[in-house]
Structure 1
């Protein structure tokens, strides 16, 4: 039996409209609609092309769906310019559904350590509720940020991605086009995700993206993102930016470091702070300005100089600071395969997918699944977490 739902799911996973898929196959859009609604069954030649397009085996379309809907449009925190892209939203919800399913399967092979992100979210909600009567939103965001930094034990901002993954957040990279930097979401199963765009971006800008999305996860939990007006969404984005600034730039330490800057309106004066805090020059100055450390005139001169020097696109030291990639999923897969808890062949055969399907889904380099252990992998799990497969095993 051909399952049209499977075709629709991988089509949306790959960000294709029915018309776009039809064009690839040399068919009509109506034909794709008929396949997906199981009014007709594609011919062998069509199925053969479908498997090439989506990196699956032919049997994939003739077995029942295995994913469930754990992600919804209203839970995804897109940037303001991205939220009206309905096709992209469908693509990302399907992406979360697929990745969440496989991660649950992989995690089932291990006894995982307790994570902190859910308790941190609960504390953030409590802080918000406690201080809401003061009606001082900035102070609330500062308090949430300070608590988050302390509970994550973030001593150095260069460790941010690692600390977030350690807390229980799954962070992935994927190609989302040029208009989307990142987004975050809680699934219906209460699993947090941060998805980073794979387009070339400096390490410090990516760091700010991570902090921004952490803000959404902690302070905008259960907000229906899809129902917000444009102005309301701008408020949400502004709050996430304030959180990120306060989180990455601890107030007392930042004030002390900023006090030694001689030319506050000169972007080049912020390079030492950029290296220490792993934050873009513009974000450093803006935070200082909001703290009242620069005059209005100094702020205007700073941005005029920033534009003149072309620092809006490329800042000094961007090429010198290495971009850190997510490592938790690679570590998870590595320990499973290295300890023979599940073989790659069994996975591919069980779900009728190609290796490149997993490569694309988890943002793995093409050679990763072929060369376990050939490059250092940061450990998030150790052998003590392995589930005993047989009752007699020690």
Structure 2
């Protein structure tokens, strides 16, 4: 029987409205609504378009859904200027449920280490509860310092790798122009950071990662769904402050900042940007926060920043490509290299094509090509042992 839930999941997984899916299938929006509500079954030509569009087999659409929603709307924290971006939450919950499901499937073949991020979250919670009278600024600083020390982060360029090794699952996908990233923790405690794949510099991606780490450590007990616009803005500012303290440790930063010839000229910050892997803006923000820049110096700094066009493209941005997530890619490589799972296994068990996983996890388009090559026949011309003919016959 046709599974209307599966069609809805595919649509939401790919961030499509019914109207947008209807346009791609060349049917009416009303027809899509009817498919998703079991009022009618799609014609064969429509089913074929769905298969091609989402890289699934027909059987996928005629099998029961295997998903349980593993995350909730109140736990999704967006790095976004626009509060209305939360309208996408339902779609992103479907995405989280899918990647969580497939990661769980692939990881069951392996022995995975204990999650360090779970230990860090507990330590951060205990520390914050131990002194409820301290200010939020103090709490943020304490938590950021604890996190950097616990994760043993020596160089910010290793942040992606460090977070993935700690047990955070990081993926990238098209989140649109309004959302930089978001984070959530599933019901069974698995933390995710989802990064937008719109071209960004390495330093901006680093800040996104640190910002979302701040949400994971500071805000997991907050219902994000019920926040007012002002409360949401405040939460975002707290995550920004966490990222600033986490990426720019006070003692090291002060020592390097003292060596700058002029505090008001963005060009003098370029080497610090190279060292700390943060933007010029983030460096100035941290300096002003620590009282190392006067109001006039800070104002002149940003005036020069706009004059030089650095608000659009900062120095080094085009020389420092963003680091991409690697944990899920490494997991899949291990599974397929060791032949624990094959392409045919995916197709027979899940009724999906390799491109489905490529799109789901933001992998390189040719990731599965190596595993799709036909195996050689056991005997070929190079393997046949020549037999000497008996000359007496």
Report the TM range for the smaller structure's normalisation.
over 0.9
Shift of 1:101: 0.2
**TM-score with structure 1 length normalisation?**
0.92
Distance 1:55 1:83, change over 3 A: farther
CA distance in 1, matches of 2:360, 2:368: 13
Give the match's secondary structure for 1:182.
strand
Residue ranges of structure 2 left out of the alignment (5+ in a row):
372-393
CA distance in 1, matches of 2:310, 2:127: 37
CA distance in 1, matches of 2:319, 2:24: 41
Shift of 1:348: 2.3
Counterpart position of 2:31: 31
Counterpart position of 1:181: 180
Residue ranges of structure 1 left out of the alignment (5+ in a row):
373-394
Counterpart position of 1:383: none
Counterpart position of 2:69: 69
Counterpart position of 1:117: 117
CA distance in 1, matches of 2:314, 2:131: 38
Give the match's secondary structure for 2:182.
strand
CA distance in 1, matches of 2:22, 2:320: 44
Counterpart position of 1:78: 78
Counterpart position of 1:390: none
Give the match's secondary structure for 2:67.
coil
Give the match's secondary structure for 1:133.
coil
CA distance in 1, matches of 2:82, 2:191: 20
- Where in structure 2 are the equivalents of 1:94-173 lying within 5 Å? 94-134=94-134, 136-173=135-172
Contact 2:120 2:147 (C-alpha < 8 Å) held by counterparts: yes
CA distance in 1, matches of 2:86, 2:214: 24
Distance 1:14 1:289, change over 3 A: same
CA distance in 2, matches of 1:190, 1:82: 27
CA distance in 1, matches of 2:44, 2:323: 44
Contact 1:15 1:87 (C-alpha < 8 Å) held by counterparts: no
Counterpart position of 2:385: none
Shift of 1:325: 0.9
Shift of 1:86: 5.2
Shift of 1:115: 1.9
Could you give the per-residue CA deviations for residues 269-319 of structure 1, whole angstroms, max 9, x where no partner exists?
A: 101110111010010011100100011111100001101111112100112
Give the match's secondary structure for 1:368.
coil
Answer with 1 or 2: which has the greater Rg. 2
- Where in structure 2 are the equivalents of 1:88-99 lying within 5 Å? 88-99=88-99
CA distance in 2, matches of 1:162, 1:70: 25
Contact 1:173 1:362 (C-alpha < 8 Å) held by counterparts: yes
Which moves more between the two structures, 67-76 or 286-295? 67-76
Counterpart position of 1:8: 8
Number of matched pairs: 371
Counterpart position of 2:53: 53
Could you give the per-residue CA deviations for residues 316-355 of structure 1, whole angstroms, max 9, x where no partner exists?
A: 0112223211110111001111111111220122111111
CA distance in 2, matches of 1:5, 1:32: 12
Query: Is 1:230 matched up with 2:216?
Result: no
- Where in structure 2 are the equivalents of 1:183-222 lying within 5 Å? 183-222=182-221
- Where in structure 2 are the equivalents of 1:298-337 lying within 5 Å? 298-337=297-336
Shift of 1:16: 1.1
